[in-house]
């Protein structure tokens, strides 16, 4: 079982989008039972809130429902539970290291670093561009899945 935790600032835009996109991809390919996929925040400001309406609307375009998802916060207890802790930008990565107490197993990485176009995924809470976020998240999830399969899972 490969366990992936996607992380962003508030757990209402990018990380839940990645969580549900990745679940959709692995289920579509018939590998859903081989994965545990979740998402969390590095901050407390959105705790208990559902995904942003822009995230929900974008995912609905692809038949993906986010019902039952509410923002939760990353804790140091999460580090040993997951094989991959995937941040959306460098600020998330910095905070993930702080919260986790480091990254001795090399589990913390940015999502787009698995693609041919490494870098940050801008926060659509600020940009309003959920289309671009979806495009980057989808590309990142596909590349991450290819990486997982190339490694033979963890």
Span 90-124, pLDDT tens digits = 999 999 999 999 999 999 999 999 999 999 999 99
Cα gap 24→30, rounded to integer Å: 10
Q: Examine the residue annotation and report whether 123 is marked as an active-site residue of this protein.
A: yes
Q: Examine the residue annotation and report whether 120 is marked as an active-site residue of this protein.
A: no
pLDDT in tens, 40-71: 999 999 999 999 999 999 999 999 999 999 99
Q: Examine the residue annotation and report whether 13 is marked as an active-site residue of this protein.
A: no
- In this predicted structure, what is the pLDDT of residue 152? 78
- Catalytic residue, chosen from 13, 14, 23, 110, is 14
Q: Domains of the chain, with CATH numbers? A: 2-151 (3.40.50.2300)
- Catalytic residue, chosen from 89, 110, 123, 141, is 123
Alpha helix (H) residue ranges in 29-89: 53-60
| C-alpha distances out from residue 75 to 20, 97, 123, Å | 21, 11, 21
Between 35 and 154, name the one with better pLDDT: 35
pTM greater than 0.75 (yes/no) = yes
């Amino acid at each position: 079982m490969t366990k992936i935790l996607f992380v962003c600032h508030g757990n209402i835009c990018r990380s839940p989008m990645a969580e549900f996109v990745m679940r959709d991809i692995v289920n579509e390919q018939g590998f859903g039972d081989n994965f545990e996929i979740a998402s969390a925040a590095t901050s407390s400001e959105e705790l208990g809130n559902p995904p942003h309406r822009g995230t929900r609307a974008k995912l609905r375009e692809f038949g993906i429902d986010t019902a039952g998802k509410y923002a939760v916060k990353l804790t140091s207890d999460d580090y040993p539970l997951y094989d991959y802790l995937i941040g959306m930008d460098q600020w998330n990565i910095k905070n993930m290291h702080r919260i986790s107490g480091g990254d001795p197993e090399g589990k913390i990485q940015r999502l787009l670093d698995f693609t041919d176009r490494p870098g940050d995924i801008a926060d659509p809470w600020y940009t309003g561009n959920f289309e671009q976020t979806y495009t980057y998240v989808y590309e990142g999830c596909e590349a991450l899945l290819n990486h997982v399969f190339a490694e033979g899972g963890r």
